[in-house]
Structure 1
Amino acid sequence: MIGRIQGVLLGKQAPQIVVDVQGVGYELLVPMTTLYQLPGLGSQVTLVTHFAVSENAQTLYGFFDKKDRELFRTLIKVSGVGPKMALAILSGMEAGQLVQCVMQDNVAALVKVPGVGKKTAERLIVELRDKLKDWQAEQSPLAAMEAASVPGVDDTNSNDIIAEAESALVALGYKPTDAAKMVTAVLKEQDVNSSEELIRRSLRSLAPA
Structure 2
Amino acid sequence: MLPGRWPFALFALCALVLVFVTWQVAAGGPLLRADVRAAGLLRDSAMPDGPAELLADLGNVPVAVPVLAVAAGYAAWRARRARIARWWSGPAAATLLLAATLLLVVAMKALIGRPAPPGPVGGTGFYPSGHAATSAAAYGAAVLLLLPWTRGRIARRGLVTGCLPAVAGTGYGLVRRGYHWPLDVLGSWSLCGALLVLFALCVPGCGKSAGRRDTDGPPDPPVG
TM-score by length of 1: 0.23
- Whichever structure has more strand as a proportion of its residues is 1
- Whichever structure has more helix as a proportion of its residues is 2
Q: Could you say which structure has the greater relative contact order, defined with CA pairs below 8 angstroms and 6 or more residues apart?
A: 2
TM-score by length of 2: 0.22
| Larger-Rg structure | 2
